[in-house]
């Protein structure tokens, strides 16, 4: 009974200490993202709230920078958005007491120079650190709030998106042209047309059609559509151009699309390998069909002078439309001699209604396993992190280390006390 009581007390004490040690403290901003529309002659403001849940005073330092993808290295210079110089923060350093909140305002003035209308993406970064004289190690962390400014244009301006849809051979190709009035004036006449070329070098125009003449009021959008039915046996990559003409301005945008055939291309077969038991055998499968292909099954045979010496299989539930996937099979090299072999892959797959087959060939050079004869290289230290991966050792890190040592010492002390009482 005494032993059970002792263990209960020990577990409860450890739980409380671990709970205190793992408490999450942070500095951040809310809302998590923001946006506004900036029209000619306007000034816009947006309010964020900086907060701290740290148990000690902090200074939140704010930076407003061009947007970066999460996997981009901030050490690599990024082309500056000209709109950035028309954006200001009402404060860049905010002292925060524990659990305190303070507002920060973003202010944007419509630019005096010509800047590309449309979406401009930025990020509001917040870094944290103890105030000077706090006697602690500066704790650097960062949170980021994406921020978008939609910049309208002075005068007449049409923004367009063009979307031709890849299609199966023999089926019509939908063509969609979206028009947006991003200016501050109505546009009374917009002429549009579409051209399609049967090759990416633009040597063979196969289709041309004028779309309806239309108009756009301020802030209005409109969608124009057309359909092209390709001639029989038309396949491969095509380029479609949409031309938009209005108010003595002309814009031409293009997109590439495909007329699909029910073909699979096999590439990137494993061509060299070292003998040594069962080894992986890789190959890639790329589809020319716009819709997903299902239930792909591959039979792979390895031959020497026309005779099959090994076989293996691989499968994949779905190959995406006009997509590519790598597959892996396993080859048993135990009974194989060193040398060059031929590899043959037979594929079976389905478009959902019918099963088809396809074949591909390659070569495989099987060499001596040098890995077993070499001593392992000495273990190298892990490379230091760079860019966004860099982390400073913070005061909280030191606190966690010390807490871990205290917990370990407490466990040892309690165990020793328990056994001394028993003896």
pTM score:
0.55
Question: Where is 239: in which H helix or E strand?
Answer: strand 236-246
Name the DSSP letter for residue 155: S
Strand order from edge to edge, sheet including 27-30: 27-30, 43-52, 101-109, 87-89
Question: Where is 21: in which H helix or E strand?
Answer: helix 2-21
Question: Domains along the chain?
Answer: 26-151 (2.60.40.10), 158-260 (2.60.40.10), 264-367 (2.60.40.10)
Residuewise pLDDT in 10s, the chain (423 residues) = 455 555 555 544 554 444 444 444 478 889 989 999 999 999 999 999 999 888 888 888 888 888 777 666 656 667 788 999 999 999 989 999 988 999 999 999 999 898 989 889 998 888 875 444 433 333 345 788 899 999 999 899 999 999 888 888 888 999 999 999 999 899 999 999 999 998 777 888 999 999 999 999 998 999 999 999 888 777 788 899 999 999 999 999 999 888 887 788 899 999 999 998 899 999 999 988 888 888 899 999 999 998 999 999 999 988 888 889 999 999 999 999 999 999 999 998 876 666 777 788 899 999 988 765 544 444 444 443 433 333 333 444 555 666 677 777 777 777 777 666 666
User: Residue 197 phi/psi, 5° resolution?
Assistant: -115, 140
Length of the chain: 423
Q: Which of 312, 309, 305 is nearest to 281 (CA)?
A: 312
Strand partners for 178? 161, 223
């Amino acid at each position: 009974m005494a032993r059970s009581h002792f263990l209960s007390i020990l577990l409860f004490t450890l739980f409380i200490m671990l709970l205190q040690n793992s408490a999450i403290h942070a500095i951040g901003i809310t809302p998590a993202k923001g946006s506004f529309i900036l029209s000619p002659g306007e000034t816009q403001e947006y309010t964020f709230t900086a907060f701290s849940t740290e148990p000690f005073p902090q200074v939140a330092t704010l930076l407003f920078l061009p947007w970066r993808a999460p996997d981009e290295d901030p050490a690599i210079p990024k082309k500056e958005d000209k709109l950035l110089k028309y954006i200001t923060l009402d404060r860049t350093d905010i002292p925060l007491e524990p659990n305190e909140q303070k507002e920060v305002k973003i202010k944007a003035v419509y630019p005096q120079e010509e800047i590309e209308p449309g979406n401009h993406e930025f990020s509001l970064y917040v870094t944290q650190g103890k105030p000077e004289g706090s006697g602690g190690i500066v704790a650097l962390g960062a949170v980021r709030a994406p921020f978008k400014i939609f910049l309208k244009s002075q005068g007449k301006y049409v923004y367009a998106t063009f979307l031709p849809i890849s299609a199966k051979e023999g089926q019509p190709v939908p063509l969609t042209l979206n028009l947006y009035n991003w200016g501050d004036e109505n546009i009374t006449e917009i002429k549009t047309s579409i051209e399609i070329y049967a090759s990416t070098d633009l040597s063979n125009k196969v289709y041309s059609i004028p779309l309806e003449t239309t108009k756009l009021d301020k802030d209005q959008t409109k969608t124009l559509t057309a359909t092209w039915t390709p001639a029989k046996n038309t396949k491969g990559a095509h380029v479609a151009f949409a031309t938009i003409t209005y108010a003595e301005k002309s814009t031409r945008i293009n997109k590439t699309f495909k007329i699909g055939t029910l073909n699979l291309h096999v590439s990137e077969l494993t061509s060299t390998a070292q003998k040594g038991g069962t080894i992986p055998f890789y190959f890639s499968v790329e589809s020319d069909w716009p819709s997903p292909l299902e239930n792909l099954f591959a039979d792979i045979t390895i031959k020497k002078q026309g005779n099959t010496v090994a076989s293996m299989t691989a499968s994949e539930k779905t190959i995406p439309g006009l997509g590519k996937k790598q597959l892996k099979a396993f080859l048993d090299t135990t009974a194989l001699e060193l040398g060059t072999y031929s590899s043959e892959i037979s594929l079976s797959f389905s478009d959902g209604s019918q099963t088809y087959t396809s074949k591909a060939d390659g070569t495989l050079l099987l060499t001596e396993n040098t890995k077993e004869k070499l001593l392992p290289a000495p273990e190298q230290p892990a490379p230091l992190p760079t860019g966004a991966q860099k982390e400073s050792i913070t005061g909280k890190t030191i606190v966690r280390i010390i807490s871990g040592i205290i917990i370990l010492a407490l466990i040892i002390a309690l165990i020793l006390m328990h056994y001394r009482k028993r003896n």
